[in-house]
Amino acid sequence: MTQDAKNRGQLTKSELDRELNDALKGTFPASDPVAVGEVTSTEPDRPVDRKPALLDKELAHELADHLKQKSATGVPR
């Protein structure tokens, strides 16, 4: 969090208006959210070439059935 963000509650109306105007100038196109606060990363959370893990549908059903059996018998998870 920036120092400006920490002190935002202590700013005057004109200071807040100036911050908002600066944020609006930095926002393009108009459909983007207002750019108030810290800069967020433009990099993806994972490498673009990394594929998501494959899900084993049958294993998922087996595990779900196992949990149903445990909850039906009162065995804690």
Q: What band does 62 get if pLDDT is binned at 50, 70 and 90?
A: very high
Q: Does the pLDDT of residue 68 top 80, yes or no?
A: yes
What's at 27, amino acid-wise? T
The answer to whether position 11 is within a domain reads yes
Residue 1 makes CB contacts below 8 A (sequence gap 6+) with 37, 38
Tell me what the mean pLDDT of segment 12-38 comes to: 75
The answer to whether position 53 is within a domain reads no
Spell out the alpha helix ranges (H) of the chain: 3-6, 13-25, 57-73
Tell me what the mean pLDDT of segment 12-34 comes to: 77
Total domain count, the chain? 1
Residue 40 makes CB contacts below 8 A (sequence gap 6+) with none
Distance CA 45, CA 48 (A): 9
Domain limits at 20?
Answer: 1-39
